[in-house]
Amino acid sequence: MTRGEGTIRLRPPRNRVDTRAVGWWRAQCLLLTAVPVAVLGVLGAFIAPARFWLLLPAAVLAGAGLLCGVLLPLWWYRTHRWEVTDDAVYVSTGVFLREWRIAPMSRIQTVDTVRGPLEQLFGLATVTVTTASAKGAVRIEGLAHEAAAGLAERLTRITQDTPGDAT
């Protein structure tokens, strides 16, 4: 943690998300693409006059979805970082639009752990740190569910011991 005259400075977080996050992100990309491809494919199978104009975009969309499903999760894994110190939660996300956020412990209001169905399948969880910020909550996605539970417990303990009113 870098401190200078009582302020917390923005710096790159040290921890990567769990490697299973790549598979989770990949499944999200492929599922998001599969629905419109399936709809176009079914319509193309049943509407003979428009078959070409329905199956062509289905094939293009399937190819683009497959390409995104292979490449983007690897890129996201390289760019998503997080770290928790006794003073703040650091999160860095984004590929083209990079976002680095700091949530000082004195500003944290709630800590939540969420596990959606797909996250459960991959053994992952998301920790959401709600702060007194207009920007909204800080989310740490792609954590092993055991690590997320431990992190939520640690954050709760640290915020209880940190002076301030979280406003």
Q: Tens of pLDDT along 11-62?
A: 679 999 999 999 999 999 999 999 999 999 999 999 999 999 999 999 999 9
Model-wide pTM > 0.95: no
Letter for the amino acid at 10? L
Token pair 């399937």 is at which residue?
Answer: 62
Strands (E), 105-167: 108-114, 124-131, 138-144
Q: With both helix axes pointing from N to C terminus, report the angle between 20-46 and 51-79 in degrees, rounded to the nearest 10.
A: 170
CA atoms of 82 and 74, how far apart (whole Å):
17
Domain that holds residue 69: 22-76
Q: How many domains does the chain fold into?
A: 2
Domain assignment present for residue 12? The answer is: no
Last residue of a domain, one of 36, 59, 76: 76
Whether residues 60 and 90 fall in one domain: no
Whether residues 67 and 130 fall in one domain: no
Q: Which of 118, 119, 83 is nearest to 102 (CA)?
A: 83
Whether residues 93 and 70 fall in one domain: no
Domain assignment present for residue 106? The answer is: yes
| Long-range contacts of residues 6-13, Cβ cutoff 8 Å, at least 24 apart | 8/87, 8/88, 8/102, 8/104, 10/100, 10/102, 11/90, 12/81, 12/90, 12/92, 12/100, 13/81, 13/82, 13/83, 13/90, 13/91, 13/92
CA atoms of 72 and 56, how far apart (whole Å):
24
Whether residues 87 and 150 fall in one domain: yes
Q: What are 90-139's pLDDT values in tens digits? A: 999 988 888 888 889 988 999 999 999 999 999 999 999 998 887 889 99
Domain assignment present for residue 67? The answer is: yes
Alpha-carbon torsion, ordered 35, 39, 40, 45, to 10 deg: 140
Q: Are 92 and 141 in contact (CB under 8 A)?
A: no
